[in-house]
Amino acid sequence: MAWRTAGADNFNVGEIVKRNLLLGVLGVSRAACGTTDSTGPNPAFLFRNPPASGTTYGGRATVVSSRVLLVKTTLGDTGPLAATGGSLQSTLLTVSVPGVLAGVVANAATQGGNDMASSAATVSNLSVGLLGLGVSASLVASNTEARCVNGAPVVSGGSEVANLVINGATVTVTGSPNQTIYLPIGRVIINEQTGSAGNITVSALRVVVGGLTDVVISRSQSSISCAVFEPM
C-alpha cells in the first residue's frame, strides 16, 4: 500500500521500518565508539532498564571451629562478609585448642566485589588428638568462589590436605568431594562440600567422634546474588 505526503515522493511502511532499524544500529555503533548523536536511540534504554536490585555478596572463612562436649572454640574467624562486599582477614602465628589440636601459620580471608565473592582458609603442621584418634597433616587448606556469569550465579571450591596421617597410617587424598574415612570411634571427612544455588561451603578436614566431638579445620564459604534487570 502506497503512502503520500505533501512535497515528498512515494514511500511505504517497510521502508520506514528499515530506516528506523538502521538508525537504531547506528546509534548503538556510535555509542560503542564513545560518540552519540540524535540520529539513534540511547542503547542503554534500547536493551534493558536499570537493575531492580544490585549484586550482593556473602562469605566467611574459619581456620578452626570445634565442639568438644559442651565447649565450643573458634580460631582464625573472619566473621561474615558485608552484603556490599569488601574484604576481611584473620592471621595467626599459632593455633591451639588444649587437649584437642595444634597448628602454625594460620590464615583466613574473604572478599567480595566486581560480581565475585571468594574465601580461603589454611593452616600448617596440624595435629589433632581426640579420645585415641590421632590426625596430622602438613597443610590443610580450602577455597571457595561464587561469581555472576551472564547474570547467573556460578560456584566452585576445593581443598588441599597434604601428608595426611590417621592413627599412624598414611591416607591417600583423592580430591573428590566428601571423601570419608570411617573409624571404630568416628570418621574423618576430607574436602567436605555443601551448598545451594549461588552458595558453597568447603571444609578441608572434619573430625567427628560420636555425637560429642566435631572439629572442622579450614572452612571457607562464599555466596552471591546476582543483579536483577527488569524487562523493558
pLDDT in tens, 11-23: 343 443 344 433 3
pLDDT-derived band at 69, boundaries 50, 70, 90: confident
Please tell me the predicted confidence (pLDDT) of residue 4.
Answer: 35
pLDDT above 80 (res 190): yes
Cell 532498564 belongs to which residue?
49
C-alpha span between 33 and 148 (Å, rounded): 26
Span 130-188, pLDDT tens digits: 888 999 999 999 999 999 999 999 999 999 999 999 999 999 999 999 999 999 989 99
Which three cell numbers mark 133? 584418634
Please tell me the predicted confidence (pLDDT) of residue 231.
Answer: 62
Please tell me the predicted confidence (pLDDT) of residue 161.
Answer: 98
Please tell me the predicted confidence (pLDDT) of residue 212.
Answer: 84
Which three cell numbers mark 116? 565475585
Backbone angles phi, psi at 26, to 5 degrees: -60, -40
Which three cell numbers mark 32? 560503542
Residue percentage of the chain with pLDDT more than 70: 75
Please tell me the predicted confidence (pLDDT) of residue 53.
Answer: 61
Cell 591417600 belongs to which residue?
172
Other CB atoms within a 10 A radius of the CB of residue 124 amount to 16
pTM, 2 dp: 0.77
Mean pLDDT, the chain, whole residue set: 83
